[in-house]
């Protein structure tokens, strides 16, 4: 078994995989082209088209993250090669903490207190109880379901949405177009944890933003393509006049790094982080990667990505 590794820490992953798979030959994308072409399997995060075009003997791909949009949209992705992605792999906990921060930021009025600090204004706001702060979570996959459960345990009423019916303890689940509208109409904070697919792109647009109650907030640790940026800016309002949307905490963007010219950088009711909400813990992810590679090699069944669905 010959495994090619490509990500931001290829040497670290090469060494870790070699220790766990002594029977395999593990090399990185820095290897000579002739060696790269021998790869049976690719374990990678956002491999370039130039690399994929070389890999003519691949039997399988392990995507080193939960989002597969960059891989599926790569023009050199080999047709018919099965893809396995990481499912949670330790990412849900830090993403849940990121969402918790965003919720408390708005529920406890930290955004307003920050603006008051700049204005040297001493004024206390009446606290809204968590029980009176309904939260919507769009996307109830492995990560979304875990995050929804975490914030429900914190005392927030949680509404979850996905394309097909689902049941989760302590979560009010919705599905389909009607379910999405019902959810949006009653939540004070909306959390986006959907995959990037043709169906979900710009799911947050002028129409859906208008369904949110006045003063709602948005938290996106998911995919940048879920949001129509022009509609978001319009809902946020001008820098000095608050729009119908109170604020947004954003970790993902259609183009990354976020261009310096983006108006999001300077908007006073937008908080930007550099796609750091859910780092992939190496040791936890290794279990899934090793298991997938061994299953590929043994011809065992695997839960693979559906390119048509986008996840």
Give catalytic residue positions.
223, 275
- For 60-88, give the secondary structure using H, E and C: EEEECCCCCHHHHCCCCCCCCCCEEECCC
Q: Quote the tokens at residue 234.
A: 């319009």
> ∠ at Cα 55 (49, 58), nearest 5°?
125
Distance between CA atoms of residues 99 and 221, nearest Å: 8
User: In this structure, is the dihedral angle defined by the CA atoms of residues 212, 213, 217 and 219, taken in order, positive or negative?
Assistant: negative
Answer for the pair 286, 18: CB distance below 8 angstroms, yes or no: no
Nearest to 30 by CA among 59, 54, 5, 47: 5
Tally: H helices and E strands in the chain: 11, 12
Distance between CA atoms of residues 304 and 311, nearest Å: 9
> In 3-state terms, what secondary structure has residue 174?
strand
């Amino acid at each position: 078994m010959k495994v090619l590794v490509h990500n931001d820490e290829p040497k670290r992953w090469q060494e870790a995989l070699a220790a766990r798979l002594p029977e395999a030959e593990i090399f990185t994308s820095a290897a000579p082209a002739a060696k790269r072409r021998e790869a049976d399997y690719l374990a990678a995060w956002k491999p370039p088209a130039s690399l994929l075009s070389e890999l003519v003997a691949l039997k399988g791909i392990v995507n080193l993250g939960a989002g597969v949009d960059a891989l599926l949209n790569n023009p050199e992705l080999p047709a018919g090669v099965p893809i396995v992605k990481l499912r949670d792999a330790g990412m849900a906990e830090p993403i849940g903490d990121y969402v918790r921060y965003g919720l408390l930021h708005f529920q406890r009025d930290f955004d307003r207190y920050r603006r008051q600090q700049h204005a040297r204004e001493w004024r206390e706001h009446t606290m809204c109880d968590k029980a009176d702060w309904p939260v919507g979570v769009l996307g109830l996959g492995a990560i979304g379901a875990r995050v929804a459960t975490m914030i429900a345990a914190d005392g927030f009423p949680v509404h979850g949405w996905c394309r097909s019916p689902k049941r989760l303890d302590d979560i009010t689940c919705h599905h389909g177009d009607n379910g999405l509208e019902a959810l949006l109409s009653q939540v004070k904070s909306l959390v986006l944890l959907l995959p990037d697919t043709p169906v979900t792109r710009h799911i947050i647009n002028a129409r859906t933003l208008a369904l949110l109650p006045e003063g709602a907030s948005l938290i996106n640790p998911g995919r940048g393509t879920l949001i129509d940026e022009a509609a978001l800016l319009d809902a946020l309002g001008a820098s000095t006049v608050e729009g119908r949307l109170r604020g947004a905490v954003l970790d993902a963007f259609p183009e990354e790094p976020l261009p310096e010219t983006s108006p999001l950088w300077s908007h006073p009711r937008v908080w930007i982080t550099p796609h750091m909400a859910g780092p992939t813990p190496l040791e936890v992810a290794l279990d899934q990667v090793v298991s997938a590679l061994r299953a590929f090699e043994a011809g065992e069944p695997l839960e693979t990505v559906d390119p048509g669905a986008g996840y």
